[in-house]
């Protein structure tokens, strides 16, 4: 009996960044006082880092102020074809200084309403990804 399911491929870092640059929504995962949390964000890739906007007093805004280790994940799938990819970035979340934030705030367009003036940046320590099929 043959196995006609698509192959799983490990992606190199360059391909991971290219794929991340092709989508607008990802998830930030971190330890919080409530336990582990995963928060969806609109993001962009800028100079090998993941950049997003968030609220001043919110969970991610506070975490960016303190700096902390996080995981960031984004993906894309086609359920009918059973193809897709997933990229994981592990690193440190930090708030972007105001002089740099003025430029970066224009790059990220949050979908949700409300003020999102804090620009957070995930500086990677590890980037990995996988693809299934020809996605």
User: Tokens for 113?
Assistant: 């309403």
| Predicted confidence (pLDDT) per residue in 15-66, tens digit | 999 999 999 999 999 998 889 999 999 999 999 999 999 888 888 888 877 7
| Predicted confidence (pLDDT) per residue in 86-120, tens digit | 999 999 999 988 888 788 878 888 888 888 888 89
CATH superfamily entry for domain 8-132? Electron Transport, Fmn-binding Protein; Chain A (2.30.110.10)
User: Tokens for 5?
Assistant: 């399911």
């Amino acid at each position: 009996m043959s196995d006609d399911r698509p192959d799983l491929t490990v992606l190199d870092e360059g391909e991971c960044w290219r794929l991340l640059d092709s989508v607008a929504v990802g998830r930030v995962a971190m330890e919080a006082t409530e336990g582990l949390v995963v928060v969806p964000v609109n993001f962009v890739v800028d100079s090998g880092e993941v950049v997003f906007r968030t609220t001043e007093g919110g969970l991610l805004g506070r975490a960016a102020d303190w700096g902390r280790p996080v995981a960031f994940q984004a993906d894309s799938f086609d359920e009918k074809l059973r193809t897709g990819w997933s990229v994981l970035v592990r690193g440190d979340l930090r708030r972007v200084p105001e002089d740099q934030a003025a430029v970066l705030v224009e790059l990220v367009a949050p979908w949700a309403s409300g003020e999102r003036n804090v620009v957070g940046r995930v500086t990677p320590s590890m980037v990995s990804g996988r693809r299934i099929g020809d996605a």
